[in-house]
Amino acid sequence: MAFPLPLETLLGKPLMFVVFGLIGFAFGYILEISGFGNSKKLAAQFYFTELTVLKVMFTAIVVAMVLIFIMVGLGVLDYNQIWVNPTYLWPGIVGGLIMGVGFIVGGFCPGTSLVSMATFKIDGLFFVLGGLAGIFLFGETVPLYEAWWNSSDYGRLTIQDWLNVPTGVVVVGVILMALFMFWGAEQLERIVGKRDLKKEPRLRVAAAGALFIGALVVLFIGDAGTAEKWGRISLEKEAALLIRQVQIHPGELLHSIGDDGLRLVMIDVRPEADYNLFHIEGARNVPMDRLLDLAKELQASYIPNQVVVLMSNDEVAATQAWKTLTAESVSNLYILEGGINNWLAVFSAFDPQITPTPNLPGEERIRFEFPAALGSRYEASFPDPHHWKIDYTPKIKLEVKRDKSGGGCG
């Protein structure tokens, strides 16, 4: 089984919340024993006298990064199932500056203020109350600047996507940067804070070496390609194809088009000439060589009621596209049963412009004749969902992906 684990499915809701509670308690406990419930210790980092906060938090970040990408490289963890905060560049920069000023003035970030309040510190309590007041004011005023608040949206953007380099290269680079930053932080503590580095545990040097070795492991393992990802899940997914679990009848697709409760995404993977000749209204033409870009787009735009239906002239190309997108963890993914040929067999009966042709040998051939390349301007392109009553076995079942979650100090 690939992680993240579906805890609610495995344990049920009550035990899932128990696990969440234990994780939250452990996180708070670690912050407290690290001294992060003390506002003086936290604020000292901005004066370069005590940089424990920087070292502890960034150590947690880089250790998690190395372990995540080792597990991803080994096929244990599905990275596409991990929530990555979308990047809103300018709102993020301004928000970071505001939080930084608040951190300096108040001595806490949101997470550490809760730890401080939990240990009955008055300054922690007032910081939390101030944070709640700020949340209220933000909620009341955000309509005034909502357009800017949602501006410069880059979606799920990571360093490896931005620079277009392998993940291992980024991990090694970040670890080297972190180790240099740790060394620089200790030098600042020695110079500004008069700290005696000889008293620091020597184990930290070994830990730094282990981090670097872990980064090299990520670099050595490399990024798994689509074929390798498919190989890891092919046994289960081929079975779904074999029992026709994901091939939906044209009638179900038509019903889904008229279902306002779904966000239906129809992807036509046929050659552009066939698409221009005839296609279902609302379907988008995406060549097979652009499926990986499509996967990233669908991941970024995912909402729980999103359903993606792939189609080709028959099912061969659509099935290959389904395998590619399934390997890239696109959820709620289906194939139009029999493809466009089957759609036309059902809905072109009352469209005299479209006539069937004799069965021609070969796969993925359009088996109807059209007087002109009118695309979606044929009546069969947009049948009225309310006027057609078709018997079919429903197969679409919404599979809800993991939603966003909080993380880090805040």
DSSP per-residue codes, 171-221: HHHHHHHHHHHHHHHHHHHHHTS---GGGS-THHHHHHHHHHHHHHHHHHH
What is the distance between the alpha carbons of residues 289 and 229, in angstroms, rounded to a whole number?
Answer: 17
Task: Write the pLDDT tens digit of every residue in 349-407.
Answer: 878 899 998 777 788 999 999 999 999 999 999 998 888 888 999 999 987 655 555 55
Average pLDDT of the residues in 298-314: 90
Mean of all residue pLDDT scores within the chain: 90
pLDDT of residue 282: 95
74, amino acid identity:
L
Task: Write the pLDDT tens digit of every residue in 121-137.
Answer: 999 999 999 999 999 99
Is 318 in a helix, a strand, or coil? helix
Rounded to two decimals, the pTM is 0.77
With vertex at residue 234, the alpha carbon angle to CA 229 and CA 240, rounded to the nearest 5 degrees, is 130
Quick one: which H or E segment has residue 369? strand 368-369
Put residue 311 in one of left, alpha, beta given phi > 0 → left and psi -120 to 50 → alpha.
beta
Q: What is the DSSP-derived secondary structure letter of residue 303?
A: -
Where do the domains of the chain lie, and which CATH numbers do they carry? Answer: 7-226 (no CATH), 228-381 (3.40.250.10)
Two tokens, residue 38: 């003390």
The answer to whether the peptide bond before residue 201 is cis (omega within 30 degrees of 0) is no
Is residue 335 within 8 Å of 325, Cβ to Cβ? no
Q: How far are the Cα atoms of 68, 132, 202, 409 from residue 61, in angstroms, in the given order?
A: 10, 27, 21, 11
Q: How far are the Cα atoms of 93, 94, 97, 148, 158 from residue 90, in angstroms, in the given order?
A: 5, 6, 11, 8, 16
Average pLDDT of the residues in 62-82: 89
Beta strand pairing status for 87-88 and 153-155?
antiparallel
359, amino acid identity:
N
Two tokens, residue 171: 């991990």
| Confidence class for position 1, pLDDT limits 50, 70, 90 | very low
Two tokens, residue 91: 């709102």
Is 311 in a helix, a strand, or coil? strand
- Percent of the chain topping pLDDT 90: 61
Task: Identify the CA nearest to 98 among candidates 135, 126, 151.
Answer: 135
Name residues whose C-beta falls within 8 Å of residue 88's C-beta, 6 or more positions apart in sequence: 149, 150, 151, 152, 153, 154
Task: Write the pLDDT tens digit of every residue in 235-279.
Answer: 989 999 999 999 999 999 999 999 989 999 999 999 999 999 999
Residue 165 has pLDDT above 60, yes or no: yes
CB-based burial label for 247 (10 Å; 0-12, 13-18, 19+): buried
Q: How many residues does the chain have?
A: 410
